[in-house]
Amino acid sequence: MREQTNAWFSELVGQYERLVYTVCFQLVRNPHAAEDLTQEAFLAAYTHRQSCPAGYERQWLTRIAANKAKDYLQSAYVRHTVLAAGEELPLLSPSPPPEELALVRSGVSEIRRRIETLREPYRQVCRLYFLEEKKPEEIALALGRPVKTVHTQIARARQILRSQLERREDDGTVS
């Protein structure tokens, strides 16, 4: 039994090691920290392997990696560097993805308006995900849809919103 578990986990590491590293690196923007966080994520995954839902290994590992990276970014060590004079200098946070920059620039009311103009099934999913900050699993349960469908709808809606915002910026229009 233990050998089967080890073989399963070794296969999991081989299959998803690059994905976990990429998730960590995207959040922390430091290759050395991302390597350490990847190892921490797999250690946590191994420790809690019995809680991995069958068929959702990728999502499960991605969530663990993201949580490890977020914990790292929130740690006092990362947020501040102690200078020789005893002053503290906050570290620069990693630059957010382009869609987040566009969201900030255009304002919450603009995003809310754009989400309300989306056609279904994207409008309802976006409202729950972006505005109410629900997890895809919660949205799937609430709407009676498969989780993978909700993930796909979020990704497509994000592309639609991004292209609308980019067109708006290219036109130089301001709402």
pLDDT (0 to 100) of residue 21: 94
pLDDT (0 to 100) of residue 58: 92
Q: What is the pLDDT of residues 121-160, one digit of tens each?
A: 888 998 888 777 888 898 999 889 899 999 999 999 888 8
Sign of torsion over alpha carbons 158, 163, 164, 169 = positive
DSSP 3-state of 19: helix
Binned at pLDDT 50, 70 and 90, residue 59 comes out as: very high
Q: Which domains does the chain have, with CATH numbers?
A: 2-80 (1.10.1740.10), 98-171 (1.10.10.10)
pLDDT (mean) for 45-50: 91
Per-residue H/E/C for 62-84: HHHHHHHHHHHHHCHHHHEEECC
pLDDT (mean) for 91-115: 59
Q: What is the pTM of this model?
A: 0.46
